[in-house]
Amino acid sequence: MSQNQLELSYKAQTRGYLLEINVVEKNVTIEENSTTSKFELSNSNFKELTSKINDIDFSNLIIEDKSEEIAVDRAIPVLFYLKTDKSEYTLELTHKTNEKIQSLIDLIQSFANKE
C-alpha cells in the first residue's frame, strides 16, 4: 500500500462522548470530546499501521447486527471508512466494535500517546 493511498475515518459517539479519528496519508487528527490532536506518523508507525490494515480481511468481517440497539436509542452507530489503493470500505458498527477494527483504532491512539 502506498502512503498516498491511505484514508481512514472512524467516528464513535455516545451521549456525552465523541471520538473521531481521521488519517490521510501520514497525517492523523484525533478529536476526543473537545480536545483535538494532530500529528504526522513516523515511517515506522506508518508501516505498522499499513501492515495491520493489510492483515484485516475487511470484505469478510462479521459485523454484529446493530438494528435493535439503534432502534431503542441505546447506541449511535460507529462509522468506519477506509480507502486504500486497492479497495474502499464503509461500515456502520455497534459500540461493540469488531476486535480487529478496535485493535486498529487502539494502535492509532497509541501513536498519539507517543507524541
Tell me which residue range forms the domain holding 14: 3-114
Q: Are 80 and 101 in contact (CB under 8 A)?
A: yes
- What are the cell numbers at 32? 476526543
Q: What's the predicted TM-score (pTM) here?
A: 0.81
Does 108 have pLDDT greater than 50?
yes
> What value does the CA radius of gyration of the chain take, rounded to a whole number of Å?
14
What rounded mean pLDDT belongs to the chain? Answer: 82
- Our count of domains for the chain comes to 1
User: HSE of 78 in the Cβ direction (CA atoms, 13 Å)?
Assistant: 20
The residues near 45 (Cβ < 8 Å, ≥ 6 apart) are 111, 114
pLDDT digits (tens, 9 = 90+) for 18-71: 899 999 999 999 999 999 999 999 999 999 999 999 998 888 876 654 555 555
What pLDDT does 16 receive? 83
